[in-house]
Amino acid sequence: MFADIDTSLSRTTVGWWLLTFALAAMLAFVAYSFVGTLVLGLFAYYGTRPLYRRVRTVTPSDGLAAISTLLLTLLPLFLVVAVVAVVGLNELSSVTGGQMEALLQALPGNQNQEQVQSMLDQPRRVVDAVRGGQVQGMLTASVGVLGAVANGLLHLSLSFAIGYFLLRDGDQVADWFRSDVAEPGTAAYGYVTAVDRDLETLYFGNILLIFVVAVLATGVYHAYNLVAPDPVTIPLAALLALLTGLATLVPIVVGKLVYIPLVLALLVRAFQASGNLVVYPLGLLVVSFLLLDILPQTVLRPYISGRKIHTGLVMFSYIMGTMLFGWYGLFLGPLVLVLSLQLIRIAFAELLHGESVSPETTMEALGSSPETDADVSGE
């Protein structure tokens, strides 16, 4: 009788485990298919969570606080992109001059009335153009561009939706994990909380540093344009300032990705105009090196990031992550780094020596400490 009961229980358990593994495999496939969207959503969540906690204290609901936080962080970015696009179009128009107008006049549909009437009188010409593939090629290219834009907007919307729901329901997920998966004081709980702290420090510190450096670059570039003569002024200063801020995602390299090519281009223009103008690009190089390079690396990044993660490791995670995974490697690389570092700090030594894993950590300088029972009771 007891043997039958044990057999029935074991079969039930095996069935549940098979279902669990099957669903886990399906979820892993979905995560693999949308890995870029998921890691961008995690970046949106951890990058805005400190601001969300402040907004939550003055809003009546978690949902309102989450959407307000995302709008506060994303709306300014969209406005900057829109302004940069308008300025870029104006700059392109001023550079091309009459060539742009001539190009537009040459496009299909801009012929004069006589040409249009001629095509209407001879519809065979239109049919021949369609059969020749000219119209089909234009339509295919247009559909391809629209499809790429729509696909990008869809993935961006999904990422921000992931960030929204994680902000709104993050506390409930943490309570469920704490009560049903890993209690405080266990190694699993310590590992997850240490990873959680490191990701917040890394992602939020990066967003804050991007904003600070972009503001500094805006001041530097516009101040330079006030004193520099027209031949060596900076075109699209707002766009270049934003790009300089984004370049701070890569430690050590920082703003060099933007201001060094900019200075080289200005030097070429200075030599073409007059040798006396070389002093302006060289002065810009010195100021940019001090304010957009040395200051972010030596003062801003350590202060904002709290000196928790080794700068060199972070640099390699950004560079190698992007080279290996593509655009989303910019966010996936640091995630893999944090997961690996905390595994080494908490579990690797015990596993290597065949000991039971504890929440105690090694190499304190490489990451955040796990959350303790005192931290939980103090919440």
pLDDT of the chain, 379 residues: tens digit per residue: 445 555 655 777 888 889 999 999 999 999 999 999 999 999 989 989 999 999 998 888 889 999 999 888 866 666 655 565 565 556 555 544 444 444 445 444 444 445 445 545 555 555 555 555 555 665 676 677 677 778 877 888 898 899 999 999 988 988 998 888 888 888 888 889 989 988 998 888 888 888 888 899 999 999 999 998 888 899 888 888 888 888 887 767 778 888 999 999 899 888 888 768 889 999 999 999 999 888 887 777 766 765 577 777 887 888 788 888 888 888 898 899 999 988 888 888 788 877 777 777 776 666 677 776 555 555 5
- Amino acid letter for position 248: T
Q: How many CB atoms lie within 10 A of CB 309?
A: 23
| Cβ atoms of residues 257 and 250 within 8 Å | yes
pTM beyond 0.85, yes or no: no
Place of tokens 């043997």: 3
Domain boundaries, the chain: 35-95+111-181, 184-379
Quote the CA–CA distance of 5 and 292 in Å, as a whole number.
71
Burial level of 37, CB count in 10 A (0-12/13-18/19+)?
Answer: buried
